[in-house]
Copies of this chain bind each other. A is one copy, B any other.
Amino acid sequence: MSKPNMKQKSLTELLHNVEAYLAQSELNGEPAQLYAPIIYSMEEGGKRLRPMLTLLACGIFGDEPEAAMPCAAAVEFFHNFTLLHDDIMDNAPIRRGKPSVFRKWNQNVAILSGDAMIVYAYRLLEKAPAHLLPQIFEVFNSTAMKVFEGQQYDMDFEGRSDVSIEEYIRMIDLKTAVLLSGAARIGAIVGGASAEDLEHITRFADELGLAFQLQDDLLDSYGTEAQLGKAIGGDILEGKKTFLMITALNGLGDEERCELQSLHQNATLPAEQKIARARELFDKVDVRTQTEERIKLHFDRALSALDALSVPVERTAQMREFAQSLVGRKK
């Protein structure tokens, strides 16, 4: 491990290179109904959080963050596959402002092209350094299984009214945070991290993932459409059991708890009034502050995990910058 590269690429440059790599020409093949939805799903990916974590983690330990590019792309293809199939399961018509695949094509196309995206992710892993493949493969597989477990718990929770905060945290850990930690761990493996540093970087990305998801929950009620990337209040209108909702239900008295619980099913109240009323009830038990404190808890833990790494602190500067850009600044 040498000193940080003085010609280190900026986050913007790395993101640009991720986008260029993801625009794989190999997917322009036949049958078009199989491959076109994959290309469509990979367009306009926003922050590319997961592949960026892979590259940045690789760059902490090695001198070439982009040595992990095929692995980074594999994680991003896997992530986009989960969105594609989740949209069928959630009957969600819109993804990133465009029709979701099962709406633009049809459900069978969405199922099959999603399946092909999983395998395409593995095709990209073929390009990992051969001597590291067994280790990377194990992390990728165990991560993927946990994501499915998280998605199943999320669906199970829809039919339950007694989900606890800790059950909720466990679910978002599996469904969201574990893929971030897998992404970072794989990058660190490519970069040559020690076993101990692998544990720290994994914990960093896992805690960052929890903070990130809780912030997403918060923005649904207290953010702007620009911050959230979609219309505000969606979770409230669906009656989703988010951190905010569960915290409010735990804190309110019987009458208001029942009101909040059934608010999304109220057929006469307009959507904006439902959102406004939910926010009122959230405010009554200071849900916003409680959520912000929990975000800070996980974010601080993430930064502590970075501090624990055995590398010179300047090697983690870019990862800190990236983490701050995701969670830290809107407070």
Contacts and interface: CB of A to CB of B under 8 A. Distances in A.
A108 B156 CA distance: 11
Contact of A156 (B31, B122, B133): B31
A6 interface: no
A156 B126 contact: no
A155 interface: yes
A137 B148 contact: no
A33 interface: yes
Given A85-B115, A112-B155, A122-B140, 12 more contacts: A85-B111, A88-B111, A108-B155, A112-B151, A115-B115, A115-B148, A118-B119, A119-B145, A122-B141, A123-B145, A126-B138, A133-B137
Taking residues whose C-beta sits less than 8 angstroms from the other chain, chain A's interface range is 35 or more
A108 to B, nearest CB: 4
B115 A89 contact: no
B116 A148 contact: yes
Interface string A169-199: 0000000000000000000000000000000
B141 A33 contact: no
23 contacts: A85-B112, A88-B108, A88-B111, A89-B111, A111-B111, A112-B148, A112-B151, A112-B152, A112-B155, A114-B115, A116-B145, A116-B148, A118-B118, A118-B119, A119-B144, A119-B145, A119-B148, A120-B145, A123-B141, A123-B142, A123-B145, A126-B141, A133-B134
Contacts of A321: none
A221 B56 CA distance: 60
A137 B145 contact: no
A156 B119 contact: no
A267 interface: no
Nearest to A122: B141
Contacts of A120: 145
A153 B112 CA distance: 11
A141 B115 contact: no
A50 B232 CA distance: 50
A130 B132 CA distance: 10
A114 B112 CA distance: 11
B118 A115 contact: yes
A134 B130 contact: yes
A111 B113 CA distance: 12
A53 to B, nearest CB: 20
A203 to B, nearest CB: 23
A130 B130 CA distance: 10
A125 B138 CA distance: 10
